Structure formats: structure tokens, C-alpha cells
Structure 1
Amino acid sequence: MISTPVDASVAPRFHVHAYPLVLRILRFVLQVVLVVSTLYASALIFFFTFTGAMDPRPPARAGWLFLLSVGLFGLLRLLDWLTSAMLFVEPERLVLERRGDRFEIPLASVESVRVWWLFPPGMGLSPRMQSGRAFRYGLRMADPLPVLEALGREDSRASAAARHPNTAFAHARALVRRRWYLWVLKFVLFPLLPGGAMFYTHQMITYGGPYGQYQWYGLGPYLRTFSTYWLFSTAVLVLCAFLLRAVAELVAFVGAWISPSHARAVRRFVEISCTVLYYVGFPAIMAWQYLG
């Protein structure tokens, strides 16, 4: 029997990333290595930049680790592009269109839809078939709740997954806007403030004025010293941001499990707390530690 397609303009559709198990594991490994290499580079800069040398510089190994992180980030974006797909929730089936392939999954053959537990690869869903086997692709998405709500209108079995604490956690997290320019502000521009303050103090103490090194040794050494303090400040803030984020995600996750209905309020609290501590708390600590 030939199935009749449903009008794509009527059926709810969602942009997802369809990951086979091997690529899902690969993405998890790449993300872990990316985080570890970034933190290791930051730790090297923090502990080994100022070691009593006359001309302090960040360790060369930190630069190689940074290049590794950039390469890993590029691989992750490539994986996202390769796995990009569209999911259609039709009255009697799920339709997944992925890079020229089309998969039609009758809802009658779906036993359940499970929310991912292992979050580092991303938030997502895995349809499990009546045979007991999972569908060949896991569906990664920022927010699984709209998909589950659309699926719940066609199949009530999806309602349990929509009420799952992991779904509440993912939905609350997806509502937080994470723009690229905020990352630039956070890790490129903002470190100029504490880094510039430390650089200014260094110039005043060592050379007797804010332009002393420039007047004595020229523009090259002056800019190199400034970049050293800027990179040091960035490394400290990266480590601080990771610590804050780890605690914030743990609090948000536990909060979603204790009370899924309050997941958004808990998320709002942790995001505001992270912002205040990052932009006010840690620079104040750095100023007290290095300038006081």
C-alpha cells in the first residue's frame, strides 16, 4: 500500500540533528576533549605565566592546546552540519528527512520516546520501537518539549516524556538566549578590564608610568606585555566561568527533578547569579588579589 504524504505546510516540523550511535559517542568524546583542552590551557596560563621571569609569557603549550580547541570546535560544527535534518510530526507517523534520505516511522510501531540522560552530546530524544530496539538515529535538539507536545497530540504515550524532569530542564535551558556576541563580550572584551588594570599597575610600578615600557623598549614589547595580562585575565575568567557553569547546571538539574514546574524559575535564578558573580564578583576578587 502506498502511503499518502501529508502536506508539509500543515504537519508540525522541527529542525533536529539525527545522530547514529557512533556519531553520538564521537560528539560526546569531542566535547569532553574540547572542554578539557580549554581548561588545561587556561590552567597553564594561570599557574605558569608569572613565575618570576623578567619577561613573563604564557606557556607555549597553552597556545597549542588553544589551537586544538579551535580544531575540535570546527569538527563539532561539521558534525552538526552533516547530521542536520527535519522532523515532521504527522497524524499517524513521524517523518525524518536527512540529507536526501526519508524515514517514515508509523506511530503504531513506536513503543515510547525517551529523553536523553547523557547531556554533553546535547539534549535529545530517542524513539524506541515495539521490537524493543531504538530507532537508528537519536534526535538531538535544543528543546525537546515542542516536539513532544506535537507528538502528544497524535499519541498520548508521548505525554509522559513531555512531563519528564529532563524535559523540563532542557526546556528551561533552551529559553536562555546564547548569542555569539555575548561569548565575545564575555571572553574577549570583558577580560580587557581586569587585564588592563593589572597591566596599568605593572607599568606604573616597573616603569614609572603607563607608557614607560613603550618609551624604553618600543611598541612590540609593550603590546606583548599587555597581551600577556589580557590572556592571563581571560584564562582566570574561563576557569571561573567553568566553575560557575558546573554549579549552575547542577543546581538547575536538581531543581528540575525536585519540582519540574519550577524549572524555569530555578534556571532564571542560576543564570542571574552566574552573571552577577562573573561580571562583578570575580573581577572584584582579582582586583583584591593582584592589585591590593
Structure 2
Amino acid sequence: MTDVSAHDLVVRRGPRVVLTGIDLAVTSGTIIGLVGPNGSGKSTLLRSLYRVVEPDAGVVLVGGSDVWRDLTPRRLARTLAVVGQERPSEFAFTVGEVVMTGRTPHHRIGRGDTRGDVAVVEDALARVGMGEHTNRPMSELSGGEKQRVLLARALAQQPTVLVLDEPTNHLDIRAQLEIMELVAGLGVTTVMAVHELTLAAAYCDRIVLIDQGRIVADGDTRDVLDSDLLSAVFGVRVHCGDHPLTGRLQLSFAPADTPSPPTNDTKVAT
């Protein structure tokens, strides 16, 4: 089943074409990683999916409905939840207050929080390992903890699709791995822009490689994260192998002009 799809999408900013000819189909239960150089169009594509950037041509469907013609932002938020870049204004509240805002799309006007809402919020916090922190101010949390809370807020919407815009940005390596492990274990259809290719390699079921506003590759993670293809797109040398600790795909990088190390058969001048 396809939860989200885009067909022949075009997005312009003035005379500049940001995205063109984008076709994307996201099937249920998969984790899709959008990767590409800075400015390639990853975030713009995500924003088109969650009704922030309206395309100049093409169509975006969520659950079979046209995002821009058939769905209001409120109706879309009952199906699709977003974790974007951190906004400091959110952090004047407690953890519980922030996560409770995820229930807003399900509220009728004038209706307060119900016991059902409280139960959903408690479950969402428990799923991200923040169940004991409901009353803590957001301003006291670490970067990784804040990201867990924002993910809990998204889960409180009870979505069938999660859209994440670089969810590990500005986090240390432990927090990055914890967030990616958490996302991988949710069992929710996920589309995310990933800056760190090593994380995309380890945790995504499918990779969509974008360059200069076009999809240049879309498929199984090991097929798309190919050394020759990545070298051509990113302009660096790439080595692909298996991680010695996890067995997952691991990528190593070097500048394009870095010479290869000598092999056992190569004589080194002395």
C-alpha cells in the first residue's frame, strides 16, 4: 500500500527551478531516506509533502487524497506528522505541554484535553523513553532529549506517516544513534531527509538520491549508496563496506584527490 506519493512535481522560486520531474511513492511501513548535497531540494520536497510549499506543477497524495485540493492542514495532520528543525519558541513549555499540542488536530473547537488525550500523550512519551519527564521544562533538556520530545509530539498525532527533516542535526554521535534506533523501532512509515550518509546507510530501507532538484537514484539502500554514484554526485571518494560491529552498510569518505594507499604489491620508495 502506498501512503504518500508525488507525481511529476515541479517547484520554482522565482526563475529558479528547485525541483523538477519528481516522482516518489512511499509504501507502508518503510523508512525512506532522502539524501543529496546541500541545496539539492531535499527539504523543499519534504515541505511539499506536508503542505508548506505548494508545487507549481504535479500532485502530492497522502492516503489517496490530494494534499492541496482535498485536505486542510488539520485533516492532513491527523494522518501525517512532522518533526522539523528546532524552534526555540517551543521551549518555554514543559515536556507534557509540548507533546499535548500533538492532539490539536483531533480536538473540536472549545474542547479541552480529555482523559483519552492524556493517555495518548503518556504513551507517546513512554515510546520515546521520556515518560518520567512530563513536568520538566523543555529548556532544561539536552539536544537529544528535546528531539525525543518533538518525536513524541508527532506520535501524539497518531499518524500513519512521519516526515522528519534531518532529525539528528546538531546532536552528538550517541544521541544520533539513539534517535535513529528509536525511529527504526516505531513501525511507522517514515520519510526523512538525512544529512549523514552513514546513518542513512545503517537505518533506511530505501534511499532517494537527489541532485540539482532531480531524483537521480531511487531504490534499495545498498543499490543506491554505491561508491561510483555517490562519488559522482558528491565529488568525493567513497568506500562501501560492512560495519565490523553491526554488519550494516558502512561508508567511508575522502577528498576526491586523495591518493589510494599502497597495496602489499606496491613498492614504496625510501
- Give TM-score, length-normalised by structure 2: 0.26
- Give TM-score, length-normalised by structure 1: 0.25
Q: Which has the higher helix share?
A: 1
Q: Which has the higher strand share?
A: 2
Pair member with larger Rg: 1
